[in-house]
Amino acid sequence: DSHASPSGGTLKLAVIPGDGIGQEVTAEALKVLEVAAPADVKFETTRYDLGAERYLATGEVLPDSVLAEIREHDAILLGAVGGKPNDPNLPPGILERGLLLRLRFELDHYVNLRPSRIFPGVVSPLANPGDVDFVVVREGTEGPYTGNGGALRVGTPHEIATEVSVNTAFGVERVVRDAFSRAQRRPRQKLTLVHKTNVLVNAGAVWWRLTQEVAREFPEVTVDYMHVDAAMIFMTTDPSRFDVIVTDNLFGDIITDLAAAITGGIGLAASGNVNPDRTTPSMFEPVHGSAPDIAGQQKADPTAAILSVSLLLDHLGHTEAAAVVEAAVIADLAERDVATTRRTAEVGDAIAARVGG
């Protein structure tokens, strides 16, 4: 297929800078991609203006024709989407459900990949974080994120609203298998399932059963289980114990923000919305939002967007280029002077220079 050619040629990249700081950090990410791409690979980028601004101007969130075009690319780079908080013209969830989640669901991004490392020189809010290097494999197409559920007697004292978490053996097994195969390729070969099997007994049973079943295919991997509430405790008191975490869509959302926080903040957290079957383009994005309060001021840290480029290159088979970008970020972080604030473009320039040099 055309979505993962690891050899030379032209790769089609759909770029969705989005809103607020999404624009600024994406510019830096592309700057780094430009210099990082292997000599025989050309990235042909198409920019799609989607997000709050477009919605407020046109009422469009993600037109079907645009989705069809995006689908024809090899990968997607996304900045951040979201308007001003509590903008009365932006109903809650309209962009999240209509754009971000629609892309994840339509393109079957069932692996939401979120690496967490404390890089040298980075300050954690934890007093003694230890040597933190784990990756969360968050399910991306099921769970409480499906949009199932509804509401009755809305706005009245008799309103009832439901949200249905949908968990299928098909959906759970494939993400669990992906997580195991990642665990197997890592030095510590450890996998922790995070769920709430003692309360969410139906969903919990599927996750538990399939984790045990798939484990048999990966005898080298040590398997561990932790309730999501207990995970909060270990994440703050002993985060170095984690290697690969596999979990559902909502727990993964929550855990990865905590993981980002303890490893130095969401300014550094990259993510991939991956379809490991490579039948559709995977999408790479920083975990942070559009931060409208600091937008357009060159105050945003583009590091997470740049690390997302590293994940993108890796996914496309350009492992070496991916490693070079990551190494450049690590070197930049190690030498950052916390007393000096650099403009967004300065950070991008510095990392691009390291990649190029």
Ligand X SMILES: CC(C)[C@H](C(=O)O)[C@@H](O)C(=O)O
| Residues contributing to the site for ligand X (CB under 6 A) | 96, 100-101, 198-199, 229, 253, 287
Binding track, positions 179-208, relative to a copy of itself; x by CB under 8 A: -----------------xxxxxxxxxxx-x
Residues 6+ apart with CB under 8 A from 108: 141, 275, 277, 279, 280
Return the structure tokens found at 143. 């769970």
Cβ distance to ligand X smaller for residue 28 or 253: 253
- Complete DSSP assignment for 183-235: HHTSTT-EEEEEE-TTTSHHHHHHHHHHHHHHHTT-TTSEEEEEEHHHHHHHH
Is 217 among the residues that bind a copy of itself (CB under 8 A)?
no
Cβ distance to ligand X smaller for residue 309 or 328: 309
Q: Which of 83, 29, 73, 85 is nearest to 48 (CA)?
A: 73
The Cα-based distances of 44 to 60, 271, 306 in angstroms read: 25, 22, 18
Q: Is 264 annotated as a binding residue?
A: no
Distance in angstroms (rounded) separating the CA atoms of residues 178 and 315:
13
Return the structure tokens found at 14. 């759909």
Binding track, positions 153-182, relative to a copy of itself; x by CB under 8 A: xxxxxxxxxxxxxxxxxx--x---------
Binding track, positions 128-147, relative to a copy of itself; x by CB under 8 A: x---------------xx-x
12, 55, 145, 332: the catalytic one is 145
The residue with its CB nearest to ligand X is: 96
42 is catalytic: no
Is 105 among the residues that bind a copy of itself (CB under 8 A)?
no
Return the structure tokens found at 289. 């939002």
* Contact yes or no for 254/145 (Cβ under 8 A): no
Q: What is the CB-side half-sphere exposure of residue 238 using CA atoms within 13 A?
A: 6
Distance in angstroms (rounded) separating the CA atoms of residues 317 and 323:
11
48 is catalytic: no
Cβ distance to a copy of itself smaller for residue 203 or 274: 203
37-45, 65-73, 222-230, 305-313 -> range binding a copy of itself (CB under 8 A)? 222-230
108, 243, 253, 332: the catalytic one is 253
Distance in angstroms (rounded) separating the CA atoms of residues 279 and 3:
7
Cβ distance to a copy of itself smaller for residue 26 or 247: 247
167 binds, among ligand X, a copy of itself, none (CB under 5 to 8 A by kind): a copy of itself
- Between strands 270-274 and 282-286, the pairing is antiparallel
Burial class (CB in 10 A: 0-12, 13-18, 19+), 331: middle
196 is catalytic: yes
Q: Is 76 annotated as a binding residue?
A: no
What minimum distance in Å lies between the beta carbon of 96 and ligand X? 4
* Contact yes or no for 302/129 (Cβ under 8 A): no
Burial class (CB in 10 A: 0-12, 13-18, 19+), 98: middle
Burial class (CB in 10 A: 0-12, 13-18, 19+), 345: middle
Cβ distance to a copy of itself smaller for residue 16 or 172: 172
Q: Is 298 annotated as a binding residue?
A: yes
Is 87 among the residues that bind a copy of itself (CB under 8 A)?
no
230-238, 273-281, 293-301, 331-339 -> range binding a copy of itself (CB under 8 A)? 230-238
Q: Known catalytic residues?
A: 145, 196, 229, 253, 257
Which residues make up each annotated binding site for Mg(2+)? Answer: 229, 253, 257
Which residues make up each annotated binding site? Answer: 104, 114, 138, 229, 253, 257, 289-301
Chain residues in the site for a copy of itself (CB under 8 A): 86, 92-93, 96-97, 101, 124-128, 144-145, 147-151, 153-170, 173, 196-206, 208-209, 225, 228-230, 232-233, 236-237, 250, 253-258, 260-262, 265-266
